[in-house]
Amino acid sequence: MSSAVPKRRPPTAQQFVLEELRRAITTGELRPGDQIRQDALAARLDVSRVPLREALKSLEAEGLVVHHVHRGYFVAELSLADLEEVYRIRELLETEAVRLAVVRGGDGLVAALEGIQREVERAAGAGDVTAMAAANRRFHFTLIEASRMPRLVRLISTLWDATDAYRSLYYTEEPNRELAVREHRAVISAVRHGDENAAVRELSDHRAHAVAALREVLDLA
């Protein structure tokens, strides 16, 4: 993990460690299958083992890490079947969220999506995978949150958490970044025209392309 530690910490040591670990995993700094070395991490973050253990338990509940007896904690690895299941469930939930968002979002939603899309495109052009993954998530959740269904949003967020490390791998390849940019533009166009069917269709294609590319990654692993 990076040696840079934020100067402003969350209120508790556990929250601080949790955010640091989640960031490292979701940005790909800690990759699927990597061991989390607790002594070194506790020393680097200047915390005791207690908040570290509690943070790891929280991440285990989220499915981001796994614990192996006598071996310790590791960043979770997804099988192809796991990945496809997560994306299938996402499709079911996000379809409902997006249909509601298109109806309820209004002009403000389009403007918000366009602003975030500019961030996506800057990051894509610069090849900044970390920034693009973060902007991509903001893009999708700005749309999903416009559904005004907070429980649904939380469920979808959990599914995204489980595959964030793989999404960073997807954006490593320039053609994938370029494709995502075009697909986001198509989604914005659909939302602008109030066409919920088109928005759902574009996002379905968007997910399918990501799964196809990640399938190759997992097949090679």
Domain residue extents for the chain: 13-75, 80-220
Q: What is the pLDDT of residue 4?
A: 45
If you average pLDDT over residues 175-183, what whole number do you get? 96
- Please classify residue 42 by burial: count the beta carbons closer than 10 Å to its beta carbon, then call 0-12 exposed, 13-18 middle and 19+ buried: middle
Give the C-alpha separation, 45 to 42, whole Å: 5
Give the C-alpha separation, 141 to 157, whole Å: 8
Whether the predicted pLDDT of 87 surpasses 50: yes
What secondary structure letter does DSSP report for 180?
H
Higher pLDDT: 42 or 198? It is 198
Q: Which CATH number fits domain 13-75: 3.40.50.2300, 3.30.950.10, 1.10.10.10, 3.90.226.10?
A: 1.10.10.10
Fold adopted by 80-220: Four Helix Bundle (Hemerythrin (Met), subunit A) (1.20.120)
Give the C-alpha separation, 142 to 16, whole Å: 25
Band the pLDDT of 221: cuts 50, 70, 90: low
Q: Which amino acid is at 124?
A: A
Give the C-alpha separation, 192 to 19, whole Å: 35
Q: What is the pLDDT of residue 3?
A: 47
Q: What is the pLDDT of residue 200?
A: 97
What is the value of pTM for the model shown?
Answer: 0.77
Find, among 217, 118, 117, the residue nearest to 172 by Cα: 217
Q: Which DSSP string corresponds to 101-129?
A: HHHHHHHHHHHHHHHHHHHHHHHHHHT-H
Q: What is the pLDDT of residue 9?
A: 53
Q: 80-126 vs 196-220: helix axis angle to the nearest 10?
A: 110
170's CB contacts (< 8 A; 6+ apart) are 176, 210, 213, 214, 217
Over residues 109-153, the pLDDT tens digits come to 999 999 999 999 999 999 988 889 889 999 999 999 999 999 999
Q: What are phi and psi of 36, to 5 degrees?
A: -95, 105
Return mean pLDDT, the chain: 89
Over residues 44-85, the pLDDT tens digits come to 899 999 999 999 998 888 778 899 998 999 998 877 888 899
